Structure 1
Amino acid sequence: MKLNTTGLFLALSVTSALTSQAIAANRVNLDEGAERSQLISISELVEQHQFETTASVKLNNDISKTKLQQMYKGIPVYGESLVSTASALRSAESFSGDLITGIEQDLSDVMPSISENESVSILAQHWNHDLIKVSQPERNLVIWLDEKDTAHLAWQVSYVVYAKDPSRPYAFIDAKSGAILDTWDAIAFAQGTGPGGNAKTGRYHFGTDYPAFDVKEVNGICSLDSANVETLDMKHQQAGGSIHSFNCYENTSREVNGAYSPLNDAHAFGQVVFKMYKDWYQTAPLTQKLRLRVHYGNSYENAFWDGRQMTFGDGATRFYPLVSLDVVAHEVSHGFTQQNSNLEYKNQSGGMNEAFSDISAAAAVYYHTGSFNWKIGDQIFKGSGSMRYMDTPSRDGKSIDHAKDYRQGLNVHYSSGVYNRSFYLLANTQGWDIRKAFDVFVLANQMYWTPRSTYDQGAVGVVKAAVDLGYCVDDIVYAFNKVGVNAGALTGQGCKDIPTDRPPLAAFDASVSGKQVTVTDRSSDDKGIVGHQWTFGDGAISTQPNTAHTYNAAGSYTVTLTVTDTSGQTNSSSQSITIVDNGNCTAPLWDAGTIYLKGDKVSQAGKNYEAKWWTQGEDPTQTGTWGVWRDLGACQ
């Protein structure tokens, strides 16, 4: 679509990518505060670029937000969108986000050389899956930007393999060459009456202890099917399944692994989740009816979202059947994320994806019962434990409480701890509760998060959502600051009864080159910062606002900045960095997040290596004789 820009002009920073000298795609930030070295009307930009509306939200103040997917010659530019703000009087008043320009410099045409079916075969071959076992293949032609913002014509491909350990390979495949540009496993795990519960929660009854659930009745036969939710009995198979039916109106099927009726629990709690999204946000969690598949496989101790539906195992020795309200809400909300921000299920975005599902679980329990104990999965966890702890994620021994503990390749269930704790802190801030905190995370997911959002970028999106809703920005900035995430400066926007002398907020940027780290202060305070104290993890300190430090040895270090304001109040922020001694090597240093193709050369620990085939994340020093990397010897 084209935006209606009658009488509307916006001052924008427009780089040389908008001129004939542009040589590649370029990012132009449209947020307020972007540098404005050149001025151009928004109407002129719209004439040069194409957008399609993907979502719209109307706020209580007669302001509407519209998410606009950027297109290029009718093809979506993956992960790139703008958010427009409009009032009842004007069609568009401002824009937020990045605009990609100069795509034509990278792509001479948009005709694929690889067919969509060939792309599925390429992905299946890479993951060693037989095509006959592939279910639900999806292929979409997109413009995909690499880390340098070079545009590629690509097939966005995924499918599901149902097995003892289900998987959902997801990839971007170059539509010209067939090369795999990026890939990962995107499987996201983790009015009738009748019994529910398990040996830990105790037996309860839908229709007495909890409201009855909606069913379909035909000639005295009821089925677990309603306007918004359908529940299938998989009968311990990995494929197939059918909507469960029973003689109206009491369903007692069927006890398994200490639970009284997982079918009833799943169906009833699916309806609770749907009603929460509808009551609070006037939207359905998914664009399609919720499909819940129960009794999957034999002794399957997990639950997952496969891109279309939610599936729940019966558990075994560690778990009761995984159909508690928080688990159901968690899996449904993976679908909400996929159909809104589509956060990639890896890296920091994957942690955010998992955290949003946990946050949704907290919201659903709060919606249903009026309280929440900050434990995920405790009602289906045999024994006294829990799957995750949102107040202190590290209690499980694997999750992280702070962004400084994040490392490349960390399991997304463990990296979710950063956002889980920030949500806990926000919901327990004076003037907030779980519902209010969920408001800003939902709107951020709908409007401001993108597939590759980082912790910091996601937090900025939550702040933007708070501005939209008129909520206190500073409370969000503080909540994220306590977990090492930079959500921006303290502005006081939307805040009431602001203290006259607030503590400072420490924040900084760090960049590593060789053995040197350069740090730049980004801290803020309402009256000004008068002191800086840097520690670099090797005994070195500095009191300069901005400085650089050179390490003597390779290793992992924690850099901490402590700032002091005019009243003597302090605040600290930390980041983890890795220093690698690469000796005299000239080849690029290996990076766990980079995709390498056959023939690519890297260096690591003083040696050069060459890729034998496509790879991502395999450390050259650990590859072995039959691994992907060929040892080329020591750097000279």
Structure 2
Amino acid sequence: MKLNTTGLFLALSVTSALTSQAIAANRVNLDEGAERSQLISISELVEQHQFETTASVKLNNDISKTKLQQMYKGIPVYGESLVSTASALRSAESFSGDLITGIEQDLADVMPSISENESVSILAQHWNHDLIKVSQPERNLVIWLDEKDTAHLAWQVSYVVYAKDPSRPYAFIDAKSGAILDTWDAIAFAQGTGPGGNAKTGRYHFGTDYPAFDVKEVNGTCSLDSANVETLDMKHQQAGGSIHSFNCYENTSREVNGAYSPLNDAHAFGQVVFKMYKDWYQTAPLTQKLRLRVHYGNSYENAFWDGRQMTFGDGATRFYPLVSLDVVAHEVSHGFTQQNSNLEYKNQSGGMNEAFSDISAAAAVYYHTSSFNWKIGDQIFKGSGSMRYMDTPSRDGKSIDHAKDYRQGLNVHYSSGVYNRSFYLLANTQGWDIRKAFDVFVLANQMYWTPRSTYDQGAVGVVKAAVDLGYCVDDIVYAFNKVGVNAGALTGQGCKDIPTDRPPLAAFDASVSGKQVTVTDRSSDDKGIVGHQWSFGDGAMSTQPNTAHTYNAAGSYTVTLTVTDTTGQTNSSSQSITIVDNGNCTTPLWDAGTIYLKGDKVSQAGKNYEAKWWTQGEDPTQTGTWGVWRDLGACQ
């Protein structure tokens, strides 16, 4: 592509990439205000690097945003993109995001030694799947960066296995060695007329209580097919299925598990979701036609997105058929996320992925009924209760309300609580509603989130979206602050009637080394911070802005910072940290998020361990005799 670069210069820190002897690419942040050391023009940048346009959005203020996927020798650099900004009033562009330089230091060539079919076999063998049961295999060659930003030529591989418990393994496989670099299960759970609803909602009728839904008519036979949505009857099978047809125009098929016509519900609500995205954002939720598969399996109590289509079970003892509007919107929006930010379905990004689908569910119900009760799945939940509660996620007994409660490996449905609650808080802020709050999350998903975004990085993306739309940044910063997520400083940008004396905003960074935690204040206030009070969770306190503390014992601790401004107003922020007593070990400490290959050595709780084969997330102290880790004895 050709970028318009007239008269614009950016300072880029490229010297280290050109002179460093270390084998690792270099990450250069192009955001306004980032630290840089060398000035080069955008035209030089374009000559040195390759980009491909993946999305464009034109905002109401005559500003255009374009998402640029970074490429290297024609191969996409996974998860790395820039956002360019241009207006009709000026020819220059500004850029936001990270640029990866120096990839050539890591990759001598981009010719794979492992074929794309071999990559599927490697993944199937790892997950113990029979190749004959593999459906929809997808293989793409990418440049994949590890935690140290070392570049690998890799196959991005996924497939689907349809079974009683469907699975969608997803992996990055080194295209030179065949080693699995990362892997996880990416399956994302969760005008005709006729009846709909269930025993809990009551029976309603499409065509009278709700608008009729679009169908295709041929010679008096109607089918659940329209320009944007098609609905298949799986007839309780796990494969196959066909578009449901009936004598025009009333479809009464068919009552299942207390529901009057799950086929009608799914088809009608799929059209509602499509219309919401089209009416509000002038975009379709998916690049392809929405395909909804109903009556999957026998007594299947779930719904899922498999990378191409949405599938809904009939429920059993816990759920009615899972075809309520919020559930349909949830699954469709997993597809929207995959085709935009592609948030990885694990870690904090997985929680964001799940939360965006819940947020979309709230938006769809609001679009359809002009109200929402902040419960997900309550209309299909047998008895009292709900699947999730966005106002107080912890009400379900498993989800978290605050980032300090996040831990590595937490189920993404439970870690979604942090963003769900932040959205609830934002939508209920004066001057906001569900539609307006959804605006910034949609644009962040389209432009600013990347596959590995953390809570903090995602929140910064929402703030950038607010700036683009002219919405109040401070409201977003406060909403995220209340759930322990740092979205940046209070700037007042886009805000009207700003109070003359706002409360401070507490924020800090924490890093752990051995038994010591180092904390750095990132708080902000319109008039200035005059007091700091640190609590380290073991009784120790400090009043220094930046300090360090050494713990006496291993364990989990909550670090809390309370700041005071010049008028005596206070605000607090907390983070959870884990201190591990590793004795005299010099071998690197085991990390739950790191992938280990055969022969890799780690230490944990004063002992050394060696991996027998590929592993991620299995604690060496819990592995047992037949587990993946070989006990090498105490550290000397």
- Specify every segment of 5 or more residues in structure 2 that has no aligned partner in the other structure, as ranges: none
Q: For residues 21 and 458 of structure 1, what CA distance do their matches in structure 2 show?
A: 33
Q: For residues 92 and 344 of structure 1, what CA distance do their matches in structure 2 show?
A: 33
- Specify every segment of 5 or more residues in structure 1 that has no aligned partner in the other structure, as ranges: none
CA contact (8 A) 2:343 2:453 kept: yes
Moved more, 8-17 or 220-229: 8-17
Name the residue aligned to 2:403.
403
Give 1:8 deviation, angstroms.
2.8
Q: For residues 555 and 8 of structure 1, what CA distance do their matches in structure 2 show?
A: 51
Name the residue aligned to 1:521.
521
Give 1:19 deviation, angstroms.
4.6
What are the superposed Cα offsets for residues 530-577 of structure 1, whole Å, 9 maximum, x if unpaired?
100000000000000000000000000000000000010000000000
Moved more, 35-44 or 600-609: 35-44
Q: CA distance change for structure 1 residues 594 and 531 in 2, over 3 Å: closer, same or farther?
A: same
Q: CA distance change for structure 1 residues 213 and 618 in 2, over 3 Å: closer, same or farther?
A: same
What are the superposed Cα offsets for residues 412-465 of structure 1, whole Å, 9 maximum, x if unpaired?
000000000000000000000000000000000000000000000000000000
Q: For residues 251 and 91 of structure 1, what CA distance do their matches in structure 2 show?
A: 56
Name the residue aligned to 1:209.
209
Q: For residues 118 and 624 of structure 1, what CA distance do their matches in structure 2 show?
A: 32
What are the superposed Cα offsets for residues 351-408 of structure 1, whole Å, 9 maximum, x if unpaired?
0000000000000000000000000000000001100000000000000000000000
CA contact (8 A) 1:560 1:573 kept: yes
Moved more, 92-101 or 548-557: 92-101
CA contact (8 A) 1:463 1:476 kept: yes
Name the residue aligned to 1:358.
358
Give 1:595 deviation, angstroms.
0.1
Give 1:45 deviation, angstroms.
1.0
CA contact (8 A) 1:16 1:22 kept: no
Give 1:43 deviation, angstroms.
1.1
Give 1:40 deviation, angstroms.
1.0
Give 1:329 deviation, angstroms.
0.1
Q: For residues 520 and 589 of structure 1, what CA distance do their matches in structure 2 show?
A: 24
Q: CA distance change for structure 1 residues 362 and 43 in 2, over 3 Å: closer, same or farther?
A: same
Q: For residues 420 and 188 of structure 2, what CA distance do their matches in structure 1 show?
A: 17
What are the superposed Cα offsets for residues 473-505 of structure 1, whole Å, 9 maximum, x if unpaired?
000000000000000000000000000000000
Question: What secondary structure sits across from 1:40 in the alignment?
Answer: strand
Question: What secondary structure sits across from 2:560 in the alignment?
Answer: strand
Q: For residues 269 and 36 of structure 2, what CA distance do their matches in structure 1 show?
A: 51
CA contact (8 A) 2:363 2:434 kept: yes
What are the superposed Cα offsets for residues 255-293 of structure 1, whole Å, 9 maximum, x if unpaired?
000000000000000000000000000000000000000
Q: For residues 20 and 602 of structure 1, what CA distance do their matches in structure 2 show?
A: 28
CA contact (8 A) 1:56 1:65 kept: yes
Q: For residues 510 and 578 of structure 1, what CA distance do their matches in structure 2 show?
A: 11
CA contact (8 A) 1:13 1:34 kept: no
Q: For residues 10 and 346 of structure 1, what CA distance do their matches in structure 2 show?
A: 35
Q: For residues 564 and 24 of structure 1, what CA distance do their matches in structure 2 show?
A: 42
Give 1:34 deviation, angstroms.
1.1
Name the residue aligned to 1:243.
243
Give 1:11 deviation, angstroms.
3.2
Q: For residues 476 and 60 of structure 2, what CA distance do their matches in structure 1 show?
A: 20
Give 1:188 deviation, angstroms.
0.1
Identity of aligned residues (%): 99
Question: What secondary structure sits across from 1:386 in the alignment?
Answer: coil
Q: For residues 528 and 314 of structure 1, what CA distance do their matches in structure 2 show?
A: 57
Q: For residues 12 and 178 of structure 2, what CA distance do their matches in structure 1 show?
A: 38
Give 1:10 deviation, angstroms.
2.6
Q: CA distance change for structure 1 residues 15 and 524 in 2, over 3 Å: closer, same or farther?
A: farther
Question: What secondary structure sits across from 2:188 in the alignment?
Answer: coil
Question: What secondary structure sits across from 1:278 in the alignment?
Answer: helix
What are the superposed Cα offsets for residues 132-183 of structure 1, whole Å, 9 maximum, x if unpaired?
0000000000000000000000000000000000000000000000000000
CA contact (8 A) 1:14 1:40 kept: no
Give 1:36 deviation, angstroms.
2.9
Question: What secondary structure sits across from 1:93 in the alignment?
Answer: strand
CA contact (8 A) 2:404 2:484 kept: yes
Q: CA distance change for structure 1 residues 18 and 33 in 2, over 3 Å: closer, same or farther?
A: farther
What are the superposed Cα offsets for residues 179-224 of structure 1, whole Å, 9 maximum, x if unpaired?
0000000000010000000000000000000000000000000000
Give 1:14 deviation, angstroms.
3.5
Give 1:2 deviation, angstroms.
3.3
Q: For residues 140 and 308 of structure 2, what CA distance do their matches in structure 1 show?
A: 16
Q: For residues 23 and 173 of structure 2, what CA distance do their matches in structure 1 show?
A: 23
CA contact (8 A) 1:110 1:153 kept: yes
CA contact (8 A) 2:31 2:96 kept: yes
CA contact (8 A) 1:17 1:23 kept: no
CA contact (8 A) 2:24 2:148 kept: no
Give 1:12 deviation, angstroms.
3.4
Give 1:9 deviation, angstroms.
2.4
Question: What secondary structure sits across from 1:380 in the alignment?
Answer: coil
Question: What secondary structure sits across from 1:590 in the alignment?
Answer: coil
Name the residue aligned to 1:172.
172
Give 1:35 deviation, angstroms.
1.4
Moved more, 185-194 or 5-14: 5-14
Q: For residues 625 and 490 of structure 1, what CA distance do their matches in structure 2 show?
A: 53
Q: CA distance change for structure 1 residues 241 and 13 in 2, over 3 Å: closer, same or farther?
A: same
What are the superposed Cα offsets for residues 71-104 of structure 1, whole Å, 9 maximum, x if unpaired?
0000000000000001113344200000000000
Answering whether residue 459 of structure 2 is matched by residue 486 of structure 1, we say no
CA contact (8 A) 2:194 2:264 kept: yes
CA contact (8 A) 2:11 2:37 kept: no
CA contact (8 A) 2:14 2:101 kept: no
Q: For residues 2 and 336 of structure 1, what CA distance do their matches in structure 2 show?
A: 27
Give 1:337 deviation, angstroms.
0.1
Q: For residues 21 and 174 of structure 1, what CA distance do their matches in structure 2 show?
A: 23
Task: Please give the root-mean-square deviation of Cα atoms over the aligned residues, in Å.
Answer: 0.8
What are the superposed Cα offsets for residues 7-64 of structure 1, whole Å, 9 maximum, x if unpaired?
3323334441145767420100000001132111111111100000000000001100
Name the residue aligned to 1:127.
127
CA contact (8 A) 1:22 1:102 kept: no
Moved more, 18-27 or 52-61: 18-27
Answering whether residue 606 of structure 2 is matched by residue 577 of structure 1, we say no
Question: What secondary structure sits across from 1:65 in the alignment?
Answer: strand
Name the residue aligned to 1:498.
498
Give 1:6 deviation, angstroms.
3.1
Q: CA distance change for structure 1 residues 628 and 20 in 2, over 3 Å: closer, same or farther?
A: closer
Q: For residues 393 and 168 of structure 1, what CA distance do their matches in structure 2 show?
A: 27
Q: CA distance change for structure 1 residues 23 and 179 in 2, over 3 Å: closer, same or farther?
A: closer
CA contact (8 A) 2:620 2:629 kept: yes
Q: For residues 404 and 583 of structure 1, what CA distance do their matches in structure 2 show?
A: 27
Residues 462-611 of structure 1: pairs in structure 2 closer than 5 A: 462-611=462-611
Q: For residues 18 and 527 of structure 1, what CA distance do their matches in structure 2 show?
A: 43
What are the superposed Cα offsets for residues 597-629 of structure 1, whole Å, 9 maximum, x if unpaired?
000000011110000000000110111111100
Give 1:590 deviation, angstroms.
0.4
What are the superposed Cα offsets for residues 89-139 of structure 1, whole Å, 9 maximum, x if unpaired?
334420000000000000000000000000000000000000000000000
Answering whether residue 60 of structure 2 is matched by residue 60 of structure 1, we say yes
Residues 425-464 of structure 1: pairs in structure 2 closer than 5 A: 425-464=425-464
CA contact (8 A) 2:232 2:292 kept: yes
Q: For residues 343 and 91 of structure 2, what CA distance do their matches in structure 1 show?
A: 29
Q: For residues 20 and 412 of structure 2, what CA distance do their matches in structure 1 show?
A: 43
CA contact (8 A) 1:24 1:150 kept: yes
Moved more, 7-16 or 285-294: 7-16
The number of equivalent residue pairs is 636
Give 1:253 deviation, angstroms.
0.1
Moved more, 82-91 or 51-60: 82-91
Give 1:340 deviation, angstroms.
0.1
CA contact (8 A) 1:225 1:243 kept: yes
Q: CA distance change for structure 1 residues 394 and 582 in 2, over 3 Å: closer, same or farther?
A: same
Moved more, 14-23 or 188-197: 14-23
CA contact (8 A) 2:257 2:315 kept: yes
Q: CA distance change for structure 1 residues 268 and 252 in 2, over 3 Å: closer, same or farther?
A: same
